[in-house]
Structure 1
């Protein structure tokens, strides 16, 4: 399965927060949990509308595949940025959030449900 992972991504976890002393704005700080090859898949077109505060968001779901041995510790809530994509340049720099973890004993890849807010 890894031979099909021709894309690259970074998966990051929140490590803390910083506060801007002038504006008081609080920003999360992140550290990489995984950097390396990946594969982005979309089993079927799916999207959902969600209302967050005053905003209407269109949430798109995909599946991220990572090498099993190298990606231990990737969990729901981590954020993902696609850094290179061999076949679809529109995926580069897109940001997703891990929403679902799939696991099994004889996995050939670590599959993660990811979601992207597009509006």
Structure 2
């Protein structure tokens, strides 16, 4: 069996290379405690910033699926694309939790700027990870 030493020794450089591709910037917040606004009487949930910095949005696959909800869609045989959506953060980024929301503040892709993505689950099952990867979905 070949030695893993060269790969393990290369991990810092590989992590640096992965981070160099994270050209987007984002702010990740977590909903705070809900309080009542004394002036309006309405509930106000403040957000706590848990991360600000580099990131990358990634998609995987585009699976065509037949729309099955609604009789009009069924009658027309509507097809929609289902994309798996991920966010990458620098390796070692900690403090993120499922339910946090990442807002893209800068992006090489103008269609991404301003988008809000909710962190769903980490992809942490990797021995030689080069990034902190999360499954995400559009925040409604």
**TM-score bin, normalised by smaller chain:** 0.7 to 0.9
Of 75, 91, 103, 2:112 maps to 91
Larger CA Rg, structure 1 vs 2: 2
Match of 1:82 among 104, 109, 114: 104
Under a length normalisation based on structure 2, what TM-score does the superposition of the two structures give? Answer: 0.67
C-alpha separation between the residues in 1 aligned to 2:56 and 2:114?
A: 14
Aligned twin of 1:114:
136
Q: 58, 70, 90: which is aligned to 1:67?
A: 90
**Cα distance, 1:75 vs. partner?**
1.1
Gaps of 5+ in 2: 1-17, 68-81
RMSD: 2.6
Which fold has the larger relative contact order, with Cα–Cα distance below 8 Å and residues 6 or more apart in sequence?
1
Measured in 1, the distance between the counterparts of 2:41 and 2:84 equals 33
1:89 counterpart SS class: coil
Q: Which has the higher helix share?
A: 2
Where does structure 1 differ by over 2 angstroms across 4 or more consecutive aligned residues?
20-25
* Counterpart pick for 1:12 among 26, 29, 45: 29
| Structure 2 residue aligned with 1:40 | 57
The unaligned stretches of length 5 or more in structure 1 are 50-58
